[in-house]
Amino acid sequence: MHYIEDFSKYEGQEITFKGWVANKRESKTNIFLVVRDGTGFCQAVLSLDVLGEETFEVAKSLTRETSLEIVGNVVKDERQIGGYELQASSIKVHHIAKEYPIKYLEQEHGVKFLADHRHLWLRSRRQWAIMRVRNEIIMSIHDFFQQNGFVQTDAPLLTGNACEGTTDLFETDFFGVPAYLSQSGQLYAEAMAMALGKVYTFGPTFRSEKSDTPRHLSEFWMIEPEMAFYDLDMDMDLIEAFIKHVINRVLKNRKVELDTLGRDVSKLENVNQDFPRITYTEAVKVLQGKSEVNGRNAITVQEEDLAAAKQAIVDLTATIEANEKEMKAGVKKGKRNYLTAQNDKFKQEIKVHEESIRNIPKWIASAQNFKDGEDFGGSDETVLTRVFDAPVMVYNWPTKIKAFYMKEVEGDPNFVKGVDLLAPDGYGEIVGGSERESDLEILSRKIKEHDLSLDDFQWYVDLRIFGSVPHSGFGLGLERIVRWVCGLNHLRETIPFQRRYGRKLVP
């Protein structure tokens, strides 16, 4: 068996392909298939001359998603997907698929239809690319930590207490005692860091927040490193090195997939700059337009974006009209197809600009009216990060809006040593971390202030009784980084089977 991914090694050789028909086109004497085998997509040519009439008849009956084997020659052809073509000398059909519900260009379907057919939708080319990027990100995370002396440890998923606040816990039953699905492995990671120094967990987490937004899942995967003897600055250095490593490895190894997704990789290459670090208080001023970043004012930039969107619609409309006029005057079939496809693309672009025109005035109002001391909303993160090219770290947050375990800023208990990493271009928060409160008295007081039971947390407080040390950590949302890297407008495509507020558990 030979995989498409390895075709460059088999150039000019006869190989056996095993996979599925993704698409089909035919002429009188040739059938052109797009075939896929999980490792890639490629064109296969089945010709009457080579196969003979009987087999050619069988080839004509192939439907999309039919499973088959093809013996054939691998020929270099730059114009084809993947750069190679398979010229069939014989075929063996495994199973002729029934009429397949999903079009080759999945974008022609609505979101709900695709979600309802997720078990099949995963076979589409874009989804294939996303899952391969997800895998690359997972592997790059492990190699970063493994190369840097971290031990991977696992936190339990059934827990007796809350880590990130009690409001969004999924409750379940543990032999008659209430239990909760874990929101975060952090508290356990802290215990393990006191045993092993530098650790990370990598597991599913659950939040029952009723948020139907592009950034929220009810079940998502989180990576949580925790390091003994690290302060907030060291934590931020680690976040920066870690994100740079992950993005650069994906850029190096997943070119084909990023290209399939149409991702503008120059935006991702910006991670190689230093990540700006600003305090929450500075960030608020930038957001409100009261302070500038490298001569850029967040509000002015939004106003410019709004004007640019309006102008783009005027220009695109003019181009569409000109193309239509040209077609009316009479053009050849090839040119007509080309112009029609162009116009369809431009109409999609107009929709995106129309959405910006609807959103930006609301975003500006929200940014200008932002109340110091509150948490940033999704649009605030978009407005704030728009003035930076690289991801930005916002640190020293108001104590009121952050979790109980964050360490107070020395001499200013209204702020804690938390940090959020915000990705550029509207992708928002992808990492949340902090230095942990290591003082027994302060931690005990904060547990009480947050209405949590000291009894439940005694084991966690113990870590401050037996050799307490400064320590820090952070959590990366796997689906959030997959979304950013792939340039997707929603988290639903970043995970094989989404679990999300407002969506049933099927498939």
Query: Given the rule CB under 6 A, which residues bind ligand 4AD?
Result: 163-164, 184, 186, 207, 216-217, 220, 222, 224, 429-434, 473-475, 477, 479-480
Q: What, of Mg ion, ligand 4AD, none, does residue 186 touch, CB below 5 to 8 Å by kind?
A: ligand 4AD
Please say whether the beta carbons of 422 and 380 come within 8 A: no
Whole-number minimum distance, CB 358 to ligand 4AD, in Å? Answer: 25
Whole-number minimum distance, CB 180 to ligand 4AD, in Å? Answer: 14
Q: Which range of residues in 41-49, 77-85, 299-307, 429-437 is near Mg ion by CB under 5 A?
A: 429-437
Whole-number minimum distance, CB 429 to Mg ion, in Å? Answer: 6
Whole-number minimum distance, CB 226 to ligand 4AD, in Å? Answer: 7
Q: Which is nearer to ligand 4AD, 260 or 434 (CB)?
A: 434
Rounded to the nearest angstrom, the gap between the alpha carbon of residue 277 and the centroid of all alpha carbons in its chain is 23
Whole-number minimum distance, CB 186 to ligand 4AD, in Å? Answer: 4
Q: Which is nearer to ligand 4AD, 77 or 429 (CB)?
A: 429
Residues 105-164 that bind Mg ion (CB under 5 A): none
Q: What is the DSSP string of 138-160?
A: HHHHHHHHHHTT-EE----SEES
Q: What, of Mg ion, ligand 4AD, none, does residue 391 touch, CB below 5 to 8 Å by kind?
A: none
What is the C-alpha to C-alpha distance for residues 20 and 55, in angstroms, rounded to an integer?
18
Residues 6+ apart with CB under 8 A from 506: 116
Whole-number minimum distance, CB 247 to ligand 4AD, in Å? Answer: 15
Query: Which regions of 37-136 does DSSP assign to beta strands (E)?
Result: 41-47, 67-76, 84-95
Whole-number minimum distance, CB 465 to ligand 4AD, in Å? Answer: 21
What is the C-alpha to C-alpha distance for residues 252 and 136, in angstroms, rounded to an integer?
10
Please say whether the beta carbons of 88 and 24 come within 8 A: no
Whole-number minimum distance, CB 267 to Mg ion, in Å? Answer: 23
Q: What is the DSSP string of 268-328?
A: HHGGGSPPPEEEHHHHHHHHHTSS-BTTB-HHHHHHHHHHHHHHHHHHHHHHHHHHHHHHH
Q: What, of ligand 4AD, Mg ion, none, does residue 430 touch, CB below 5 to 8 Å by kind?
A: ligand 4AD
Query: Which regions of 65-118 does DSSP assign to beta strands (E)?
Result: 67-76, 84-95
Q: What, of ligand 4AD, Mg ion, none, does residue 474 touch, CB below 5 to 8 Å by kind?
A: ligand 4AD
Q: What, of ligand 4AD, Mg ion, none, does residue 480 touch, CB below 5 to 8 Å by kind?
A: ligand 4AD
Residue ranges in 297-450 assigned as alpha helix (H): 298-328, 333-368, 378-385, 440-449
Q: Which is nearer to Mg ion, 56 or 474 (CB)?
A: 474
Nearest to 475 by CA among 424, 427, 425, 436: 436
Give the CA-trace dihedral at 115, 121, 124, 130, to 10 degrees: 60
Q: 289, 391, 428, 432: which one contacts Mg ion (CB under 5 A)?
A: 432
Nearest to 243 by CA among 261, 268, 267, 220: 268
Q: What, of Mg ion, ligand 4AD, none, does residue 428 touch, CB below 5 to 8 Å by kind?
A: none
Q: Which is nearer to ligand 4AD, 184 or 323 (CB)?
A: 184
Q: What, of ligand 4AD, Mg ion, none, does residue 302 touch, CB below 5 to 8 Å by kind?
A: none
Q: Which range of residues in 55-63, 405-413, 431-439, 480-488 is near Mg ion by CB under 5 A?
A: 431-439
Q: Which is nearer to Mg ion, 424 or 432 (CB)?
A: 432
What is the C-alpha to C-alpha distance for residues 138 and 131, in angstroms, rounded to an integer?
11
Q: Which is nearer to ligand 4AD, 72 or 433 (CB)?
A: 433
What is the C-alpha to C-alpha distance for residues 147 and 64, in angstroms, rounded to an integer?
44
